[in-house]
Amino acid sequence: MNLLVVTLWYLKLYHSECYIAAELYLDPSTVHHILTEVVNILHSCIYSKLVSLPADMTDINTTYGPEENHKLLVDSTYIVIPQPNDSRQRKAYYHSKSSTNCAFKVRIACDFNHQIVHISECYQGSVHDITILRESGLLEYTEEYVQIITDKGYIGEEYVITSKKKPHGGEQTTEDTNFNRNFNSARVAIENINQRFKTYAIMDGVYRGIIDDFHKITKIVQVVCALCNLNLSKHPIRK
């Protein structure tokens, strides 16, 4: 039995451990142990090799976005969880886009080669996007020539660039309109990458693990992102 294939099958289709146990004539506890150990091995072997920031983002040869100093794209996504019974937990995990109104939230960054290069830890769904970005350590790499482009949920940092606002009571300049057009076109990449991420059913379905085990869900997310990068290398998104 190929344990790697079983684990990839689990991540991709997210069958229950009981279903996998029945299919493989194993005890569910054995399946749980196999999946946990193989995810740990994958994380230790492939995550740091497949998900890493470019060595020198200030280099003029580093691929950039609408402007030369735009080096990274950032967006958050969510993983649906069952609605907790406890009202305080429901409030903490609240996420308006989740089908259960509760979720984990994670921040993903990609470069302009359209590879995932940085992933935050998982957070409760109610945590603000800018808080996750600040605590992720990614801002330590930003400077005048290494800027992040993202949506308005991340306003508040010097080198985090969002689209230009329309002046109150006025019209947007042609320059700002053109900037926003190029900006929004570039941002499609991170949205497409998030869609690839969601092709793994464990990220797109209702997560069945323990919801306060952030270490485990973060490790699973990071492994899935590494696998996404393999897929993106073979089947790149359209630039």
Domain boundaries, the chain: 1-50, 53-73+109-121+133-234
Cβ atoms 82, 206 nearer than 8 A: yes
Question: Helix crossing, 174-197 with 214-234: angle to 10°?
Answer: 110
Phi and psi at residue 20, in whole multiples of 5°? -65, -40
Q: Indicate the pLDDT class of residue 197, thresholds 50, 70 and 90.
A: very high
Nearest CA among 27, 37, 49 for reference residue 7: 37
Predicted confidence (pLDDT) per residue in 77-119, tens digit: 999 999 999 999 999 999 999 999 999 999 999 999 999 999 9
Predicted confidence (pLDDT) per residue in 10-66, tens digit: 999 999 999 999 999 999 999 999 999 999 999 999 999 999 999 889 988 899 999
32-36, 177-181, 222-226: which has the minimum mean pLDDT? 177-181
Residue type, 14: Y
> Which residue intervals of the chain are DSSP H helices?
3-13, 17-24, 28-42, 48-50, 87-92, 129-136, 174-197, 201-204, 214-234
Q: For the whole model, what pTM was predicted?
A: 0.93
Cβ atoms 104, 125 nearer than 8 A: yes
Nearest CA among 138, 157, 161, 136 for reference residue 148: 161
